[in-house]
Structure 1
């Protein structure tokens, strides 16, 4: 495996802080070791193999869900024999900005404060 970590920017969609993909590709086309500034929620819908997140190498199987924080180097290496009849592995991925998380926490805290003050009445 090439030890280089590729840094890249995920696509920006105007007025949106996340994007979603449903991927169906040959195992050999899956991204090499990379990092980006978005949170990544990854759901394996078909295939298995090993994944590297940070400095941890672990097996994965269909049905696994992994949340990867911003800037963490990662890759998924699918076993070719785990591809479906079309020769593809499949997964769902949502990438979302750190700003969305900060905004959601801020809104949650505000909502909790409002709820607590109403309960005290």
Structure 2
């Protein structure tokens, strides 16, 4: 399976590119990378994402900053959407040249921007800062291009001075093993909701079954099916918390075919039943 990397062109007519989308869950951009920075806010939707060498589940509300040249994509769950059946997010793309210009124009921003540029990892924000970023990015939807420049400078100030960030992705080391793992992760992300055989996954990445099993265990410390099961359980957790689907529906939607087996595996991994997990959390209103 070849990686379908999409490269975004640099902005030409604007200081930065502001993209607000309200679309069907499966219309998102596939795995891609670009030479620019990206700030992404998930307003509605949940699922799993790849950022560099990290594969994780995500839910609405997160704001992620991705440095240049880190491959990434979001895969949204079909069952998590708004009343129109759509997901919604905001993406702001800006060039490193713009950061350099800001350092020259605003001496107050020189040190924090320089520190930001030294960070090679994708990061997420939390608590009070996350709320400020959400509010500011949402307000930009209804602003004109000049107003957005002002808001973006404020965004830049907020993220530049942030010291408490969580790493959610790292650059992919340019070697054959890491590239092969990214192919595997992308296949899992795209197919975990259905039955996957060893023959299929190994063939998709051009390996023999035995070689694939040894390779995956060496790279992750887990067997392929152990990893796949844990990934499916984490995905089902998001659906339990964010949807009103029944446990049986979530079982099927997360790639399991047998409800009793799903319940047993869930309890073994999470030390609580799916129903108990849902009761401890919350269910969004329709």
How does the TM-score come out when normalised to structure 1? 0.80
Separation of aligned partners in 1, 2:31 and 2:16? 21
Aligned partner of 2:129 in structure 1 is: none
Separation of aligned partners in 1, 2:20 and 2:108:
34
SS at match of 2:79: helix
Alignment match, 2:188? none
List runs of 5+ in structure 1 lacking aligned partners: 113-121
Who is 2:130 aligned against?
Answer: none
Structure 1 residues 87 and 72: alpha-carbon distance in aligned structure 2, compared to 1, 3 A threshold: same
| Separation in structure 2 between the aligned mates of residue 56 and residue 62 of structure 1, nearest angstrom | 18
* Alpha-carbon distance in 1 for matches of 2:8, 2:108: 31
Structure number with larger C-alpha Rg: 2
Q: Deviations over 1:44-76 (max 9, x none)?
A: 100111111101012211110000111110000
Q: Structure 1 residues 43, 110: closer, same or farther in 2, change over 3 A? A: closer
- Return the alpha-carbon distance in structure 2 between the equivalents of residues 46 and 65 of structure 1: 12
Using the alignment, how far apart are the partners of 2:59 and 2:79 within structure 1?
Answer: 13
CA distance in 2, matches of 1:107, 1:27: 40
Who is 1:117 aligned against? none
What aligned pairs does 1:71-82 form with structure 2 within 5 A after superposition? 71-82=69-80
Would you tell me which structure has more helix in proportion to its own residues? 2
| Contact map agreement 2:52 2:71 (CA 8 A) in 1 | yes
- Runs of 4 or more, structure 1, over 4 Å off, are none
| CA gap 1:53/1:84 in 2 versus in 1, 3 angstroms | same
How many angstroms apart in 2 are the aligned matches of 1:85 and 1:111?
41
Does 2:39 align with 1:41? yes
How many pairs align? 110
What CA deviation, in whole Å up to 9, does each residue of 1:30-57 have, x standing for no partner? 1111111111100010011111110101
Residue 105 of structure 1 is matched in structure 2 by 103
The CA distance in 2 between the partners of 1:9 and 1:81, in whole Å, is 29
- Which is strand-richer, 1 or 2? 1
- Cα distance, 1:13 vs structure 2: 3.8
Which residue pairs with 2:87 in the alignment?
89
Task: Flag structure 2 segments of 5+ consecutive residues without an equivalent.
Answer: 111-286
How far apart, CA to CA, are the structure 2 residues paired with 1:76 and 1:11?
Answer: 21
| 1:5–1:73 Cα contact (<8 Å) kept | no
Where relative contact order (Cα < 8 A, 6+ residues apart) is larger, the structure is: 1
